[in-house]
A = this chain, B = another copy of it.
Amino acid sequence: MTEHRYPSADIAAIERVIRERRDIRQFAPGALPEGLLGRLIDAAHLAPSVGYMQPWRFVRIASSATREALWGIVDAERRATAAALPTRAADFLKLKIDGIREAAEVLVVALMPGREAHIFGRRTLPEMDLASTACAIQNMWLLARAEGVGLGWVSFFDPDEVARLLAMPPGSRPVAILCLGPVAEFPPVPVLESQGWGKRLPLDEVLFEDRWKAGAGGTPTAY
């Protein structure tokens, strides 16, 4: 217990939103509450970043033609993924994996160009730019949930095609298509769990002491 500790009710709210956040693919009609998109971007932009590089860039999809083209790129990858799964392709094709056509807002999140000049904290781990960007998205995700707004991170796409569609400069890389909007419900457990695509691992499979636990391997796939 320190002087820097927040009130217990505030901590409870933070633990609640961490627990109740969901990756949303089913959206309800309607717009985002007034001003929320800006607050979500602000929350993202307050994320930590390696060497303070702030590698994240956000493209808000405004035109329906661009949105439809994005959806086409995602749908092609959805089919390619189904074809690549060793089993359960038919099950997979029944899943709704994006809300690009229905969500109130769609954002493409990309890593900026010119990242190779930033070696502070990433000389040996260049992928820290993506890590920072994921922290930014997690900030948005939590705030959106608290506001009662769903967010889904779609990673079914060919990054080169998305880059071309949005006239992204060489060296940049799209890493997320975010769908945001009102939802009918936040499922009590992740949809991939209720649909049999995975289970929360027991803690002793993810937490070790002083060295890797002998024999501990990767999470099994469900396909």
A96 contacts the other chain (CB 8 A): no
Shortest A82–chain B CB gap in Å is 10
A60 CB contact (under 8 Å) in B119, B186, B208: B208
7 pairs across A/B with beta carbons < 8 Å? A5-B147, A42-B203, A45-B206, A57-B207, A62-B209, A125-B155, A135-B141
Using CB atoms, name the residue of chain B closest to A186.
Answer: B4
* A202-223 interface bits toward B, Cβ cutoff 8 Å, 1 = contact, 0 = none: 0100111111101011110101
The interface size of chain A toward B, counting residues with CB under 8 Å, comes to 122
A92: chain B residues at CB < 8 Å are: 120
Residue from the set A66, A118, A149 with the largest chain B CB neighbour count within 10 Å:
A118
A42: chain B residues at CB < 8 Å are: 203
Chain A 92-141 residues near chain B, CB threshold 8 A: 92, 110, 112-115, 117-125, 127-128, 130-135, 137-139, 141
Q: Contacts A10-B16, A117-B218, A125-B175 given; indicate if A54 touches B158 (C-beta within 8 A).
A: no
A18 CB contact (under 8 Å) in B59, B132, B139, B192: B139
Using CB atoms, name the residue of chain B closest to A169.
Answer: B212
A11 CB contact (under 8 Å) in B146, B186, B203: B146
A123 CB contact (under 8 Å) in B17, B18, B80, B211: B80
Using CB atoms, name the residue of chain B closest to A114.
Answer: B218
Using CB atoms, name the residue of chain B closest to A107.
Answer: B207
Q: Are B15 and A43 touching (Cβ within 8 A)? A: yes
Given A18-B139, A128-B155, A130-B134, 14 more A-B residue pairs with CB atoms under 8 Å apart are A4-B186, A6-B147, A11-B146, A13-B14, A23-B48, A56-B206, A60-B207, A66-B211, A77-B124, A125-B155, A130-B130, A131-B155, A132-B134, A166-B210
A51: chain B residues at CB < 8 Å are: 192, 197-198
